[in-house]
Chain A
Amino acid sequence: MEKEKPKLNLAVYWGAACGGCCVSVLDVHEKLFDVVANANLVFWPIALDTKYSDVEAMPDGFIDVTLYNGAIRNSENEHIAKLLRQKTKVMVAYGSCAHLGGIPGLANFHTGKEIFERVYVSSESTVNKEKIYPQTSYKIPEGELTLPEFYNDVRTLGQVVDVDYYLPGCPPQTERLLEVFMAIVKKEELPPNGSVIGATDKGQCDECPRKRSDNKKIKQFKRPVEVIDDGETCFLEQGLICMGPATRCGCGYRCIEGNSPCRGCYGPPPGSPDPGSKMMSAIGTMVGSDDPEEIAKIVEQIEDPAGTFYRFSLPAAILRRKLIETTVS
């Protein structure tokens, strides 16, 4: 019998995530056979029925590569992140949520209490006159039922455990995943730990196919639905908020090629610790007026500025979250 070369042990896990990252792994299509030829999938809840106890039973360092997608929103996300870290040689923060907090991270504009109040009491489709909230523990005759604790803060994976590589994107570009995976398989020289991989240091404008000038004077901010795009002018010059200048390349211009402005999922280039404020500063210079009242009116046209400028990056940004008011005794 032909001696098989040793396979890598691969795990894919989701924290606070939409599931898109897990599905994106399948976007490798027929290349999945290359992956399977080189790896045992030891843990992948979306596709395999592996139990937590199976992971706990693995020796430390048993898993070669974990692709952890999703942010850390509750105690279960944190527990599994720490468990997988212990069992894994190369921990990859896979996708925007694990990298920067992602869309779930926008919940940091509210407190945990506000979110529960909205979801379980005040939402239009809810009737909960007794104001019953989920509890982390509930005793019934048969024993104790538990739920994970819902935290105030959404955190990135890197804020909870040591991360070896960050693979950005919502979801990451599949080709980049394959490149990284094959590099690990072939034991090629890998970048230093803590690096962002599968992306470049340049902003999106670098190779953006659209025409741009140094004279952006925006009189009206619009939503994509309000513009008949000419298909070739810089989105910002058409009054559309494009996060391109504040966002790394690597995605292959998927949105821009589809005539949609960049949403910022690849996160900021290195040395830019707060992409939201960076982009707001830049946008501020593009407002086409010198009159304070007119400027205020123009800026008011930006729908949901916090959610727009920090769409994927809030927990990782300096801003991090809404201020929690505390009373000092």
Chain B
Amino acid sequence: MEEIRIGVYICWCGSNIAQLIDVKFIAGEIKKLENVIISRDYKYMCSDPGQETLIADIKQNKLNRIVVAACSPRIHEPTFRKALEKAGLNPYMFQMANIREQDSWVHIDKEYATLKAVALVKAAVSRVKHHEPLNKKSVEVNSATMVIGGGITGLTSALEIAQAGKQVYLIEKSDSLGGITAKIDLTYPDLKSAGQMIRPKISQVQNHNLIEVFLNTILEDISGYVGNFSTKVRRNGTSEEITFGNIIVATGLKPFSPVTIPEYKYKVLPDVITSIELEKMLQDGTVKTSDGSKPDNIAIIHCVGSRNEQYHPYCSRTCCSTALKYANQLRSLLPDAHLFDIYADMRAYGKGCEEFYTNTSNKNIMFLMYDQKNGLPEIRKANSSDNAGMIITFSEKLSGENIEVPVDLVILMTAVEAHEDAKEVARLTGISLCGNDFYIEKHPKLDPVATTTDGVYIAGTCQGPKGIDESIVQAKAAAAKVLSMIAMGSIEIEVAVSHVNEEVCCGCQTCIMVCPYKAISFDEEKNVSVVNEALCKGCGTCGSTCPTGAIKSLHFTDIQILSQIEGLLKTESETI
């Protein structure tokens, strides 16, 4: 076996690491370890000169293992792996010790932080001795894309991709395209027709020769991996299979039903309606009470089911501006009506929306504030002596008084929530849900439309409540991600995957049901499990489940992890 020659580099990260951790001391301690040929400290290892030092050392000193103690591997592991490649070393002969996020940033005692850093670096040195070279693999990308959801987001993504000349399969579970946007009258803050915006998009999609629309369609199963997915879709009782390379999930959301909020008596009092029910009236051009008369007093109540631990803890984001839109539309339709806007906080965020609020507040609308902490406004049927159909009672926050508002029509600005089948779509596509059942992006800031499953993107309100403008930004971002993937033609796939040692595997099949990526199958003839390396993400679940120890998670083998632990613990007994 070739001699193990390790180079260790302790990064200062400017002052981020060096001001708390004695980097020179660590470099000295590590130099004493067996197989460590070079141990240096440097101000910025990730900089060009830092990487060049590393490359030169590898070449001059025949180093075959590298440890860099610096920031999180999430940030610079790819950087250093590339540097190893440049120097002619396999990029997996590398281990990072995180002495910034896991040490200098979270401790205050210099001595102990330094000892901890020594332990972390010793662990990395101990581990890297057992690293094995892994070779890159690539697969071709199928240039078709499946878009799930035919709302404004899905339509936009589909058009972007088709207009670039690539095939799209657009899957919609209902019998029509357009989603929630097709159900609303005007958009905010510009008060333009939503219908005029979405109808041309729908017809463009329907007439595009590269877009195949599947209405009344549900997904039965998705298999495959980035670049090579296939699915079974079922429509009109028949099942068919389509293949594609990428998936955009744009399944949107749905309005919350306020029947569960007792204070609002929705479905009990006929003139308490939801925002989406008002949209229907506005689209039809008349706003009437249940007995067909013109309402003299109308209240709009905000935060119905939003920002309330009992219902949904989050802000539904679009309802404040939508409420202002209603105030404007109602003022135009019913110039003499009394309009009350009962809000908890006015969150008219976004371009032009604060100005929209200012304009609206000049239109003879009574803005009243309530505080959810002091209870919700309560709606009751009025007495015959009252001059209105209903009375809303609540504690008005700004005046500090308990007030009663007489109303004939109440509009509830209902929260929005994830679809009931969001979980099922997540399971099929291999994406994760947050606590509120919205989909989780790969990184909230740096990678907002990708997911942890390669080749699966999320866009629009299935990721969280947002307006049309923001949904379209995401729709186009997701389309751009897909198009860049198609343009690459082939992609490198994870090589730190699971490997079955057929000499040891006894065919108990425990691994098959735990694999979240359906990457393991059973070879009846050989009586062993087989990993499809293109599907495997190297999560390690099968490796830790395998009772015989036949499955090795490459780059996370037992010996690598155990020696890392050993390196960590040895330090403790020696130095503390």
Residues of A within 8 A of B (CB): 201-206, 212-216, 244-246, 249, 268-273, 275, 278-279, 281-282, 284-286, 318
Contact = CB atoms under 8 A, between A and B. Distances in A.
B504 A270 contact: yes
Given A245-B548, A268-B549, A285-B514, 12 more contacts: A202-B503, A205-B507, A205-B508, A212-B508, A214-B522, A216-B513, A244-B508, A270-B549, A271-B504, A271-B549, A278-B546, A278-B548
Contact of A203 (B522, B547, B552): B547
B118 interface: no
Interface in B114-166: none
Contacts of B514: 285
Q: How large is the interface on B (under 10, 10 to 19, 20 to 34, 35 or more residues)?
A: 20 to 34
Nearest to B501: A271
B513 A215 contact: yes
Nearest to A271: B549
B176 interface: no
A286 B547 CA distance: 12
B547 A278 contact: yes
Contacts of A286: 510
A213 to B, nearest CB: 7
Given A203-B508, A212-B509, A213-B509, A245 B501 contact: no
A245 B547 contact: yes
A202 B544 CA distance: 17
A191 to B, nearest CB: 15
A268 B506 CA distance: 12
B504 A245 contact: no
Contact of A281 (B501, B522, B527, B545): B545
Contacts of A205: 506-508
Nearest to A272: B549
Contacts of B527: 206
17 contacts: A202-B504, A202-B548, A203-B547, A204-B506, A206-B527, A212-B508, A214-B509, A214-B512, A214-B522, A216-B510, A245-B547, A269-B506, A270-B504, A272-B548, A272-B549, A278-B547, A278-B549
Contacts of B242: none
Interface of B: 501, 503-510, 512-514, 522, 527, 544-550, 552, 558, 562
A205 B512 CA distance: 15
A281 B544 contact: yes
B549 A202 contact: no
Contacts of B545: 281-282, 284-285
Contact of B547 (A206, A212, A281): A281
B426 to A, nearest CB: 15
A323 to B, nearest CB: 14
Contacts of B552: 271
A202 B506 contact: yes
B559 to A, nearest CB: 8
Contacts of A269: 504, 506, 548-550
Highest count of chain B CB atoms <10 Å: which of A249, A272, A279, A318: A272
B513 A214 contact: yes
A214 to B, nearest CB: 4
A201 B503 contact: yes
Contacts of B550: 203, 269, 271
Contacts of A212: 508-509
B510 A268 contact: no
A213 B522 CA distance: 10
A245 B549 contact: no
Nearest to A277: B544
Contacts of A204: 506
Contacts of A284: 545
A271 B560 CA distance: 12
Contacts of A249: 506
A146 to B, nearest CB: 34
A203 B510 contact: no
Contacts of A206: 506-507, 527
A212 B558 CA distance: 28
A203 B512 CA distance: 16
